[in-house]
Amino acid sequence: MGFCISCGQQHQDGIRFCRFCGNQQPGDQLLARLRQEAEQIHYMRLQAQALAQQQQQQQQQYQQNQYNQQPRW
Ligand SMILES: [Zn+2]
């Protein structure tokens, strides 16, 4: 089952046009492309998160080093 991208009515899978409003529905190719794009966005987000974590860790290490370099009386 799918839903019309235009009017939101439920219709059978695999149809090319909505029987309620007549709008063309996305085909398998388009759905596959959209899915791929969504995966890419998800992957990019994961990468950005990993990078942010790395930077945070580096900052913490830097602060620790500075602390270690301070003379202790
Ligand atoms: Zn429709």
pLDDT in tens, the chain (73 residues): 788 989 999 988 878 899 999 998 887 788 889 999 999 999 999 999 999 999 999 999 888 888 777 777 6
Q: Separation of 10 CA from ligand 1 center, angstroms? A: 8
CA distances from 13 to 6, 8, 10, 20 (A): 15, 14, 9, 14
Q: Which amino acid is at 18?
A: C
Tokens 């830097």 found at: 62
Q: Separation of 14 CA from ligand 1 center, angstroms? A: 14
Domain boundaries, the chain: 2-63
Q: Separation of 9 CA from ligand 1 center, angstroms? A: 6
> Taking a C-beta distance cutoff of 8 angstroms, is the pair 19, 11 a contact?
yes
pTM attached to this predicted model: 0.48
Q: What is the DSSP string of 18-70?
A: -TTT-PBPP-HHHHHHHHHHHHHHHHHHHHHHHHHHHHHHHHHHHHHHHHHHS
